[in-house]
Structure 1
Amino acid sequence: MNEDALRLIEAALAEDIGEGDVTSTYFVPEGRQVRGFIIAREDGVLAGVELAMEVFRQVDEATDVRPMLGDGARVTQGAHVLEVQGPARSVLTAERTALNFLQRLSGVATATARYVKAVDGTRTRILDTRKTTPGWRLLEKAAVVSGGGTNHRMGLYDRVMVKDNHLVAEHDLDSLQAAIRKVKAEKPGVEVELEADRLEQVEGFLSLEGVDHILLDNMTRAELLKAVELRGDRSFPKLEASGGVNLETVAAIAETGVDFISVGAITHSVKALDLGLDFVPLSE
């Protein structure tokens, strides 16, 4: 597990425990042992299993945690996700933080899987965006992959993405071409994406060298079809549709032949997957 994830766990535990878990300290006998399972209360796709396990370990190394399913696993109601056994006080102290990570990330994976299923049979892949929870980006983007999606850029540093607000400053094709050549020379591993909200822009961008992706922003289905037609038989630049995407519209967008559809909703407004910790007798 990387250092960023460990720091996030540490911060989450500090936020929740503070000076100590007063309920467990005063109402749970010292030395009491428990055994329990995190169980799915609804159907979905898992993500964040290792993170949840690490929470229990960080609270108390004496806690034994065993995964029963891993990230990317599809679960039905009643499925056992992981088993935990150890000091009752420690397990109860870790419970909510472990579930917070697991439920949120599984919600992202589950939402992503629904979009991926909706475009099944087309060439289109579902992308995430930068609309992530601050500090959780790597975790949420990993959850997108667990749900069958594809990661877009991780941040401002790993892909050029020239949007409408950037074009206010530099909007003519000659200036764009000069900037593209410069970034390709100085940052050879960085891809270039240009945002178009009109077909005339798509035509212009297709005339430029070094463009890896064109973002088709809030275009109608007819406009998307035309943009795919304008690109012709070329495999590049890749075409990404964005805007107005939901589970009711995503299949029709994919059928236009675009390469990618970016969906902010799979990270910024997902419902946490319902999971819970249930104790069982130690003898079971």
Structure 2
Amino acid sequence: MKKIIKDFIKKSLEEDVGQGDLTSNACITKGTIGEAKLITKEACYISGINLAQHIYEFYDENLIFKSIVNEGQFVKKNDIIFTIQGNKHAILATERLILNCMQRMSGITTKTREFVKAVKNYNVKILDTRKTCPTIRFLDKEAVRLGGGHNHRFGLYDEMMIKDNHIDFSGGIENAIKNCQIFNKKINKEIPIIVEVRNFNELNKVLNIGGINRILLDNFSIQMTKDAVDRVNNLIPLESSGNINIKNVKKYAKCGVNFISIGSLTHSVKSIDLSMLST
């Protein structure tokens, strides 16, 4: 089990269980064995099954977990996702954490799949963003991946992405790019450089400077995006971002961009309704 997952589970259980589950301790005889199943209450693309297994293993390694479906699989209303057998106290203590995680992750996976399907006939990748829930970005991004999407940078530490405030604070887009290129040489690395442009003036400046890995077209209209694709002419990969939704994503894909990033995949999540039932 990866450290990030183990730490997350530990802190989450400390938050919820604390010194013990008072209701279960009062109502249920210690050490008694039971069984439960997780079911869907609406159709969705399910995710978080592996995390659920990790949670059970962390809390009580004697619990018997049996997955019925696979991660990212489409499931119908009332389908059984998995069964869990063992100590009743352990099953109840972990129930809410598992439901909270899987409901959110499945919501992200389902929404991502909708976007991926919408652009399936175009050579474009759907990306997530850093607009995730703090401390559980790794879960949000895993849910995107299970929906057929692709992960953008995980944080400020793995790519350089020059945005509007960087440009303004640097005294212009040329300075921002050159400073990043100098930084790469200084540390003797080739960290990818992505540049966000707000208009054609900035786009032309980026093309003249060169030496970057991707251009992000920020809040460009459909027509502006078409014109930008023609202007760049495959010299540098292009990403569309800003105010893109399920109604217009296909139009952006038709323009010929290489990537489309969708912040709402993770910042506006509709959780999927799941339920844990004793059997």
Alpha-carbon shift at residue 80 of structure 1 (Å): 1.7
Contact 1:218 1:243 (C-alpha < 8 Å) held by counterparts: yes
Which residues of structure 2 form unaligned runs of 5+? none
Asked if 1:277 corresponds to 2:269, the answer is: no
Contact 2:174 2:205 (C-alpha < 8 Å) held by counterparts: no
| 3-state SS in 1 of match to 2:169 | coil
Alpha-carbon shift at residue 81 of structure 1 (Å): 1.3
Q: How many residues align?
A: 278
Deviates more, 1:106-115 or 1:186-195: 186-195
CA change 1:272–1:174 in 2 (3 A) is: closer
| 3-state SS in 1 of match to 2:38 | strand
Counterpart amino acid of residue 227 in structure 1: A
Deviates more, 1:1-10 or 1:54-63: 54-63
Deviates more, 1:176-185 or 1:89-98: 176-185
**Runs in 1 of length 4+ with deviation above 3 angstroms?**
171-174
Q: Deviations over 1:68-90 (max 9, x none)?
A: 22322221212221110011121
Q: Deviations over 1:149-196 (max 9, x none)?
A: 011111111111111111113344653453243133235331111111
Measured in 1, the distance between the counterparts of 2:270 and 2:27 equals: 33
CA change 1:19–1:174 in 2 (3 A) is: closer
Measured in 2, the distance between the counterparts of 1:173 and 1:144 equals: 31
* TM score, norm. by length of structure 1: 0.93
Which residues of structure 1 form unaligned runs of 5+? none
- Aligned twin of 1:264: 263
Contact 2:164 2:196 (C-alpha < 8 Å) held by counterparts: yes
CA change 1:118–1:51 in 2 (3 A) is: same
- Aligned twin of 1:95: 95
Alpha-carbon shift at residue 140 of structure 1 (Å): 1.1
* TM score, norm. by length of structure 2: 0.94
Q: Deviations over 1:105-153 (max 9, x none)?
A: 1111111111111112111211100011111111211111000001111
Measured in 2, the distance between the counterparts of 1:5 and 1:180 equals: 33
CA change 1:173–1:38 in 2 (3 A) is: closer
List aligned pairs for 1:29-44, cutoff 5 A: 29-44=29-44
- Aligned twin of 1:139: 139
Contact 2:144 2:151 (C-alpha < 8 Å) held by counterparts: yes
Alpha-carbon shift at residue 229 of structure 1 (Å): 0.3
Counterpart amino acid of residue 277 in structure 1: M
Contact 1:196 1:202 (C-alpha < 8 Å) held by counterparts: yes
Measured in 2, the distance between the counterparts of 1:246 and 1:187 equals: 39
- Aligned twin of 1:184: 184
CA change 1:267–1:28 in 2 (3 A) is: same
Measured in 2, the distance between the counterparts of 1:221 and 1:73 equals: 33
Counterpart amino acid of residue 254 in structure 2: E
CA change 1:29–1:218 in 2 (3 A) is: same
- Aligned twin of 1:17: 17
CA change 1:258–1:143 in 2 (3 A) is: same
Measured in 2, the distance between the counterparts of 1:108 and 1:173 equals: 34
Alpha-carbon shift at residue 226 of structure 1 (Å): 0.4
